[in-house]
Amino acid sequence: MPKQREKNGLTKMDRLYPKTKMSVTNPIKELSNLVDRIPESPSPTQITPFIALVVRSILDKIGFVDLVNETVSWDPNQCSISPGNRALALVLLPFLSTKQRVALVHVSQQLEDIDTELIFGSAIPATSFTDDCLGRFLDKFAEACPSNFFQQLSLRAYATYDIPQSLILH
């Protein structure tokens, strides 16, 4: 599903979390900046936990969704949800749920009261995240060499957050 653009050409996530380099030296300032940019949910029944938005912002800055979309082979004409958004749902699930573990069959229930436009950049119905949909993504991700994906994601994190090479543990 394509990202919904606002009048100025930006998506809601682009406006809230512009892609800039962040520093790991002052995390309190970074969190403060994030808090100032988070809008209220349009619906009082939709509650999105703050920690999920922080994690989403970090993943967005390192290009998590785009990297998953590049890594996993998929056809945009056949898929209503990109592999990147499927992966994002699974990564954010522990931050969106009060339960310690959630089965794939219950993911859509956990996303029902969440502002999906704020999390995914477009309003994706929670019912779209079925266990079949997520299971197919996990199968395709396993075929796409997850170790290379993790390596690329790690390098992006080091570059984005200016992590000094002296902090790399061998």
Residue 151 · residue 69 · CB < 8 Å: no
Q: Would you say residue 6 lies in a domain?
A: no
Q: Would you say residue 156 lies in a domain?
A: yes
Q: Per-residue pLDDT tens for 90-116?
A: 999 999 887 778 889 999 998 988 888
Q: Would you say residue 7 lies in a domain?
A: no
Q: What is the DSSP string of 149-164?
A: HHHHHHHHHHHHTT--
Q: Would you say residue 49 lies in a domain?
A: yes
Q: Would you say residue 169 lies in a domain?
A: no
Is the per-residue pLDDT at 135 higher than 90? yes
Q: Per-residue pLDDT tens for 142-160?
A: 999 999 999 999 999 988 8
Q: Would you say residue 43 lies in a domain?
A: yes
CA 149 to mean position of chain CA atoms: 15
Task: Return the pLDDT at 60.
Answer: 93
How many residues does this entry show for the chain?
A: 170
Of 138, 159, 18, the C-alpha closest to 68 is 138
The domain containing residue 136 runs over which residues? 12-162
The total domain count for the chain is: 1
Q: Would you say residue 4 lies in a domain?
A: no
Q: Would you say residue 168 lies in a domain?
A: no
Identify the burial level of 59 via C-beta atoms within 10 angstroms of its C-beta, where 0-12 means exposed, 13-18 middle and 19 or more buried.
buried
What is the distance between the terminal CA atoms of the chain, rounded to a whole angstrom? 40
Q: Per-residue pLDDT tens for 50-81?
A: 899 999 999 999 999 999 999 999 998 888 89
Task: Return the pLDDT at 34.
Answer: 66
